Amino acid sequence: MIEAKDLRGRFNDWPRAGSRVYRAPGRVNLIGEHTDYNDGFVMPAAIDFHTWVAIAPRTDRTISVFSENFQEAVRFDLDDPAPQPKRHWSDYVRGVALALEQSGYRLRGAQLQIRSDVPIGAGLSSSAAIEVATGYALLHHSGFDVEKVELARLCQRAENDFVGVRCGIMDQFISCQGEKGKALLLDCRSLEYKLLPLAKATRLVICNTMVKHELAAGEYNKRRAECEEGVRHLARRGDDVKTLRDVTSAQLESDSRDLPDIIYRRCRHVISENARVLQAAAALERGSVAEFGRLIDESHRSLQQDYEVSCAELDLMVNLANALPGTYGARMTGGGFGGCTVNLVLDEAVEEFKTRIARDYENTTGITPEIYVCETTDGVKEVVSG
């Protein structure tokens, strides 16, 4: 992980003279998976992996952007009447610029340099981090006050409409509004949120399985469609059901005969997961780590069995974690089909946990995992002026 003070020495010409530097974090979701696009509840935390954007003015309406990670430069014109996505990292930058302009923010031309240490494709929201850091930098640079909830919405729009991924609001929201030492309980319908203190004697340990199965994107959209199908069935009874957020477990059970089994199980995951998030928030507020951990375990089982978005490597990582001393809870985090697990581990057990889980996972799969003992961090902000 990179510190702001290290950046100047670390890259050639970083940041260029006259640049301002901003950074936005990645995230881990503690509980509340596949609920955001169902208007439900989520509980992510911002973690100390960041995307950094250095921005300097240009006199025209061009955005030129250099990625330190890909060692590649791209430029585009803010006045291009029909920008098209290219399935390229620069789509995030271009999509955000477009979403901002379309909602009335006239941007100034700029030179951007981007660097990220958020593991790419690991389910820790490297996309949201680049979107939010870029959006914040572009708005600030163009003289606008940044309203962070609005920024999160516009970054989500960029990802939905330009990049072409139908994600919910969770990742962009936490990258904007995270706070060090806190988890964030978010109501994805109203966008009301509450910051909750994380237990002091525990650490969040993220285990990267280092696999990403091809079907992830297709299955994500399929799950969304299955949830929508569930809503269509459940709304027929005349109740006011707009999303699965509006359905209780009792209603689901009483309507279960009318639902195809697979749709029933998808709905059961979402409805029970929403309830778990609220219980988990109450547990955190009471300081009940054991209860919080139990809910994390239940969430994994529901994702594995009802929502079917886990995979062999994630299940293995969770089982290995549960066999180790000091583990309160373990589950997959993010969209699924690979990526990472999140583990709530007793502080003094962390060193042993790291060593043993890495060894056991590698012994079984032949894959060397990456284990990150995380610090939580703040949402997007400016880090250096100069």
Residues found near ligand GLA in the complex (CB under 6 A): 33-34, 36-37, 167-168, 170-171, 334-335
Residues 219-228: b if buried by 16+ CB within 10 A, e if exposed: bbeebbebbe
* Nearest Cα to Cα of residue 128 among 258, 11, 26, 231: 26
Q: Which residues face 208 on adjacent strands?
A: 340, 370
Nearest approach in angstroms of CB 249 to ligand GLA is: 20
| Nearest CB to ligand GLA, comparing residues 19 and 208 | 208
Nearest approach in angstroms of CB 203 to ligand GLA is: 22
Catalytic residues: 171
| Nearest CB to ligand GLA, comparing residues 34 and 157 | 34
> Do 32 and 17 contact (CB within 8 A), yes or no?
no
DSSP state of 145: P
DSSP codes joined into one string, 14-25: -SPTT-EEEEEE
| Nearest CB to ligand GLA, comparing residues 109 and 335 | 335
Q: State both tokens at 25.
A: 């974090």
| Nearest CB to ligand GLA, comparing residues 170 and 184 | 170
Nearest approach in angstroms of CB 54 to ligand GLA is: 26
Cis peptide before 15 (omega within 30 of 0): yes
Q: How far apart are CA 222 and CA 359, in angstroms?
A: 35
| Nearest CB to ligand GLA, comparing residues 159 and 255 | 159
Q: Locate the DSSP E strands across 198-354.
A: 202-212, 327-333, 338-346
3-state SS, residue 331: strand
Q: How far is CA 55 from the centre of its chain?
A: 24
Contacting residues for 285 by C-beta, under 8 A, at least 6 apart: 196
Nearest approach in angstroms of CB 269 to ligand GLA is: 11
Nearest approach in angstroms of CB 110 to ligand GLA is: 27
| Nearest CB to ligand GLA, comparing residues 170 and 324 | 170
* Nearest Cα to Cα of residue 237 among 226, 246, 224: 246
Nearest approach in angstroms of CB 243 to ligand GLA is: 13
> Do 97 and 138 contact (CB within 8 A), yes or no?
yes
Question: How far lies 217's CA from each of 95, 163, 379, in Å?
Answer: 19, 12, 26
Nearest approach in angstroms of CB 156 to ligand GLA is: 8
| Nearest CB to ligand GLA, comparing residues 4 and 191 | 191
Q: State both tokens at 366.
A: 């032949």
Q: How far is CA 83 from the centre of its chain?
A: 26
